Chain A
Amino acid sequence: MSKTRRDFLKIAGMSALGLGCSALPAAAADPGHAPRKAAQGPAPGTLPDNALTATHWAMVIFTRRIKGPEHFDHIINACHQYHNVPEIPGHKDEIKWIWTDSFNHTFPEKETHFLAQDLEMMDFLLLCNHCENPPCVRVCPTKATFQRDHDGIVIMDMHRCIGCRFCMAACPYGARSFNFANPRPYIDGAKLNPDYPTRMRGVVEKCNFCAERLAKGQMPACVEASEGAMLFGDLDDPNSEVRKALRENFSIRRKTTLGTQPSVYYII
C-alpha cells in the first residue's frame, strides 16, 4: 500500500493529538506541583492560636515620647539583635532595619526655613514603611520582595533575592540594605539569636514588621522595647490602638506626594 504525504500527515496529526490528550489527566493529577492558591491568607490550622492577625498592619510613632539617645539605642538594639543584623562599620556597607535621622531628612517635603527649635534638634525613628503601593515590589524581577495580600506587610524572601538591588533604587525611603560582604563575622557570636537566621552575601534585607513574631503572638521587637512610644495595630480596624491614636493626634507620613502610601505614621 502506498502512502501519500497527505495520509502520513493526517495520521501523524491524529497521533500527536492522542498523545497530548493522554498526557493531560496525568499532569492534572500530579498533586506535587499544583498551582498554589492565591494568597488569601494562611490556610486554617497553619497559624498558632495566639498569632496576631490584621488586614493592614501599621505603626504609629509618638515622636515626643522618645526620651533621648539611649531610648533610641534601646529600640534599635532590640530590633537588630533579634534579627541578627550585623554591625558593619562604615556608611557604605552598613545594614540597618531601623535607624534615626533629622526632621529635614525624614520629612523633606515638610521642610521649612524656620523650623521649631525642638524639632530641629530632634531625631526620628525610620524603618521600612510597608507601603500600600510599594515601588520595591513593582521593580523586583524575581518577586523576592512581595506584599502579603492578607496583611499588607512587605517582606523579603531571602531565598529568591538575586541581589540586583533594583528595590533599593526604587525605595524612596532608603529602607533597604545590601549585604556586600558575608554578614556573619560582623555579628557578635554570643549575641546571635538562634530563633532567626542571618543573611548571606549578595542579598538585600530590611525590616519585616516582625512577621515571625506576630505569628507567635508577640508584638514587633521595637514596639515592645519602645515602652509606649510606638504603637502597632490594624489600620482597617476602627477600634484598634493605632486608629485611636491617629484619631486623637495630628500625624504625618514620609514623602506622601510619591503616592506610595506608607503605613508608618508619625505623631509630631
Chain B
Amino acid sequence: MYNAKYIVPGIVVFLILATLPFWWSSIFVAGYDSPELALPADKDQCIESAEFMKANHMQILDEWRDQVVRDGERLYTATDGKIWEMSLQNTCMDCHSNKEEFCDKCHDTTSVSPYCWECHLAPRGNEQ
C-alpha cells in the first residue's frame, strides 16, 4: 500500500481515540452504584409501588403540576384506592422529609438537576 507506514499507524491511533469512551469507562471508571436513600422511617408504602415511583416519579410530578395548576384538580387516587393531595411540597415532602438524603443523593449521582426547589420549599427540617 502506498504510504502504509503513515496510514496504518494513523488508522490505529484513530480507532483507539474513537473507541476511547467505551473502553475507558469499563476499565478506569467504577461502575454505577445506586445510592443508599434515606426512606421515611414510619412509612413503608409510597403512593404507588417503589418500582413504579423510581421509574415514573418525574412523569407523575409533571402530570400533577398540570392537573393542579391548569385543571384545578387537587386529589390523586392511587392504584390501591387511597386518596392523596397532589402536592410535591405538602404530600411528597411530608414523608420524604430528608431532601438531601433522598432527592439530592440520586439526582447528584445521575447528574440530574431539576429546578423544583427554586420555588418549592424543602421541608423545614433541612433548612437550618
Contact = CB atoms under 8 A, between A and B. Distances in A.
A244 interface: no
Contacts of A43: 71, 73
A197 B70 contact: no
A45 B120 contact: no
Nearest to A37: B71
Contacts, number: 62
Contacts of A182: 118
A197 B115 CA distance: 13
A91 B54 CA distance: 46
A39 B89 CA distance: 25
B121 A148 contact: no
Nearest to B123: A194
Interface in A23-62: 32, 36, 39, 41-43, 45-48, 51
Q: Tell me what chain A mostly uses at the interface: helix, strand, loop, or mixed.
A: loop
A215 interface: yes
A158 B66 CA distance: 11
A197 to B, nearest CB: 4
A201 B75 CA distance: 29
Given A195-B90, A197-B119, A197-B120, A48 B74 contact: yes
Interface of B: 59, 65-67, 69-77, 89-90, 115, 118-121, 123-124, 127
